[in-house]
Amino acid sequence: MQDVLERFFAAESNVYLILQLKSGPETRNEQFESLDRLAQMGKKPDLTHYEDAYFANTPAYLHGMDTAEALEELYMQFNLYRPPDFKGHSLSVSDVVALKLDGHACAFFVDRIGFKELPEFLEKMKDTACSRPSLKGQLKRPERPDSPAKGKNHRERDTR
């Protein structure tokens, strides 16, 4: 997962990442559970329990929306019109959606009602992405609005 996190934080465009719990005994009691239920079990979302299900540039129609609207649109898309290369289940409670819009990154837990921001989870994502020494400086560098135009090989959606 480190590679996709590196790409997420290094992206110069608006991107999003969907993380879903891995299948297995370690996560069986966490799947499809709300934040309140996790807290009752003495747990909170743990990055090591997740795997990337989808990473892409944000669709043009999301540009200009506030974060809450963008999250709702992604929720609808990944429940009604999932992309053919999406390798997960429909977006559900316990999933995490990370957004990077205009250089600002944030992570949200899909809860029973709405989304809850996860600042600690985002910090873990950053730590994991920056664990390779060669990328530390690159990922901490502020985004430049005057970055060069994309070349002819640039694709609208990132590929794995």
Alpha carbon 40 to chain centroid, angstroms: 25
The pLDDT of residue 131: 82
> Is the model's pLDDT at 140 over the cut of 70?
no
> Is the model's pLDDT at 104 over the cut of 80?
yes
Q: Which of 125, 100, 122 is nearest to 5 (CA)?
A: 125
28-73 pLDDT per residue, tens: 999 999 999 999 999 999 999 999 999 999 999 888 889 999 999 9
The pLDDT of residue 99: 97
The owner of tokens 């989304």 is 115
Beta bridge partners of 101: 104
What token pair was written down for 111? 């809860």
147: pLDDT confidence band, cut at 50, 70 and 90? very low
> Is the model's pLDDT at 149 over the cut of 90?
no
The pLDDT of residue 138: 53
Q: What secondary structure does DSSP assign to 65-110, as a single string?
A: --HHHHHHHHHHHHHHS--TT--SPSS-TT-EEEEEETTEEEEEEE
Return the axis-axis angle of helices 119-129 and 2-10, rounded to nearest 10°: 100
* Rg (the chain; Cα; Å): 16
137: pLDDT confidence band, cut at 50, 70 and 90? low
The pLDDT of residue 37: 97
Q: Which of 29, 5, 2, 27 is nearest to 17 (CA)?
A: 5
Is the whole model's pTM more than 0.85, yes or no? no
